[in-house]
Structure 1
Amino acid sequence: MQYEKLAIPGVTLITPRLFEDDRGFLFESFRQNDFEEHCGNHHFVQDNHSASLKGVLRGLHYQLKHPQGKLVRVTRGMVFDVAVDIRKESATYGQWVAATLDSQNRQMLWIPPGFAHGFYVLSEYAEFQYKCTEYYAPEDQHVIKWDDSDIGIEWPIIQDHNVILSDKDKMARGLFN
């Protein structure tokens, strides 16, 4: 696998080595020793799998008492995936990085604990899978408004297509509010 550090320290784009022939393909989607070497010693406790339609935007979600590191990938379709640094002591606090993940490039994004996370579905349908370093704690779930002008995420919103949000995401506030 190839590990590429992104503009915010800790966030890493991972490109697996693909073995493909006329029967199909194979690739390692996770290898603990390589992951530890490039991303740190993290232990995963939960795997999640979601499906979303075109125009769905999920996020920006985070937990404070039980911050989750997430290793995310798309197994069907395409999403614009975003990580926002919410570590107050960080030099990059309030900044964001993004990657377009899809089932063709098979790339993964490592988002360490201390980041808010969200994604926007660009394809007609997308399946999104991720490993978490902490269990989901609904009482500790927080949301930042997806279009917070102080953060300034440049979402590739599909023209003539409404952004579809959950009720929870519609009620979100800005990072600095």
Structure 2
Amino acid sequence: LLGGLTLGAAPRRAVGRAGGGEPCTGPVLGAGSLATCELPLAKSEWQKKLTPEQFYVTREKGTEPPFSGIYLNNKEAGMYHCVCCDTPLFSSEKKYCSGTGWPSFSEAHGTSGSDESHTGILRRLDTSLGSARTEVVCKQCEAHLGHVFPDGPGPSGQRFCINSVALKFKPRKH
């Protein structure tokens, strides 16, 4: 519990075999017997797949400069997905202008009340700067997305402060 917010546990690990017969030790996705297992990519594979900026933010827990992100002022209706694995993360309906310099959302896509179990995110304790913050990562690939703070609008009171470079926007089809 951090600032009244419950931190999500790390993804469960699967023991078994993935598609190619390799031992499966990646995060378990889904719930119950329908869970699937994804093997994590090696650092070199992520470096090939992502731009240097995407790699720095998502795999090395970096932060893009404030007011520099391509989605900061995006007002188009649609869904923000993880740039690494395409998991839906945040709806444009929950995006707002916080004035902080990064895209801000009041809740993750799939949130029901205070239940985030059906979202694409996890919360983790981050003490890297000498004080406790809550890091937000992709539940599927563990990409660093940003942080969540308890100073957002009602009713949740949360501000998900997310790096644009960690996101891929998909406009809503009309």
TM-score scaled by structure 2?
Answer: 0.29
Structure of greater relative contact order (alpha carbons < 8 Å, 6+ residues apart): 1
Pick the structure with more helix per residue: 2
TM-score scaled by structure 1?
Answer: 0.28
